[in-house]
Amino acid sequence: MPTELSPTARALRTLEILQSRAAGVTADELAAALGVTERAARRYIGILREAGVPVHSARGPYGGYRLGRGARLPPVVFTEPEALGLVMAVLDGQPAAADPSADDLVGTALGKVIRALPESVGRQAAALREHASAAPDPGASRPDPALTSALVAAGAVRRRVLIAYRSESGNEWEAEVDPWAVVVRYGRWYLLCHSHHADAIRTYRIDRVRAVRETAHGFEMPDDLDPVAVLEENLGRGWAFPTRVVFDAPTAEVLPSIRPPMGRLEPAGDGCVLIGTTRNPTMYAQEWLAQLPLPFRVEGGPELRAAVAVLAARFTAAVAEEP
């Protein structure tokens, strides 16, 4: 650390160190990082506290300093790669945030972050936002931030909730569930939970949740829960139309080509069979089966067989000779 740095610069550097070490930093570690004595390091902690930054301290061999949560948000210090990475992540997930003039909640927040950055870093971040073009994902959904936060908060304290839900067809109902996790998958936000009415795992699109209310009942989280894996597996269950697809290849050869929502792959003789359900046989045929690199036979159900037949006829007609 250069000796010519001013006390203000060292105080800001102290803040940056505290922000990067959520578990805390000892006085001697802080002094070494600043290139000063422990006494001087404690003086910079005092400067931050006088400025309203909530710095907590703990005594003992495992003590040290860490940032707390206070009434005033401490200034956030970004490096240029961090700032540019943040802008890129926002534009990737929320293309509307690219337009500063749009009435977009995330775009407004991004603008505040960019304006709060130091000039050199903020200039690069603003240029990236201005000149990058982001195409919206037609399949993405944006749930209400307050409802999403309520589900996350209830899951964090292991509190059962009552949700009001509206299905894609417009049907509405209430469900009492244990909110295990919120999972983002391909631009859509899902609640993975245990439904007490069905006594089974359920997944709900959070953009279709109309209200959330905590109850007085707690719940236990399943051991070793992998929310993404469980969600993927559960998305292939409980739909109206059954599916059964047979492969002559062994399970190990077929498995890498199967997405979990397509169903459950089981050995069958010298090959294997894919058993599941779908709410949309046409989508199942066009977006999933048509992309499989291996031969297969569709044995069921009748709706999926009909959808595959229509798709096969379209492809056959596409390569037919001119009459």
What pLDDT does 308 receive? 97
> What is the number of helices (H) and of strands (E) in the chain?
11, 11
What residue type is 45 in one-letter code? I
Whether the bond between 301 and the residue before it is cis, its omega within 30 degrees of 0, is yes
144 burial level (CB within 10 Å; 0-12, 13-18, 19+): middle
- Containing H/E element for 183? strand 172-185
Residue 50 pLDDT: 87
Please give the Cα distance from 78 to 118 (Å, whole number).
8
Which residue is listed with tokens 């610069």?
9
Query: How far is the C-alpha of 14 from the C-alpha of 31, rounded, in Å?
Result: 9
- CA 152/CA 235 separation, integer angstroms: 20
Q: 3-class SS at 315?
A: helix
Per-residue pLDDT of the chain (323 residues; tens, 9 = 90+): 444 677 888 888 888 888 777 778 898 899 998 989 999 999 999 998 888 888 888 776 656 888 876 534 555 677 888 889 988 988 888 888 888 877 888 888 888 888 878 788 888 988 998 888 888 777 777 899 899 999 999 999 999 999 999 988 889 999 999 999 999 988 889 999 999 999 999 999 999 999 999 999 999 999 999 999 899 888 888 888 999 999 999 999 999 999 888 999 999 999 999 999 998 999 999 999 999 999 999 999 999 999 999 999 999 999 987 76
Query: Does residue 192 contact residue 230 with C-beta atoms inside 8 Å?
Result: yes
Q: What pLDDT is recorded for position 242?
A: 95
* Closest CA relative to residue 107, chosen from 95, 122, 119, 117: 95
**Measured CA angle at 162 (ends 263, 149), to 5 deg:** 85
Hey, how many other C-beta atoms are within 10 angstroms of the C-beta on 316? 9
Contact 45, 74 (CB under 8 A): no
Q: What is the C-alpha separation between 217 and 203, in angstroms, rounded?
A: 20
Q: Tokens 């940056």 identify what position?
A: 16
Rounded to two decimals, the pTM is: 0.65
Task: Report DSSP letters for 225-250, one per residue.
Answer: --HHHHHHHHTTSS-SEEEEEEESS-
Residue 126 and residue 84 in contact, taking contact as beta carbons nearer than 8 Å: no
CA torsion through residues 313, 317, 318, 319, sign: positive
Residue 116, both tokens: 């709060």
The predicted pLDDT at position 315 comes to 94
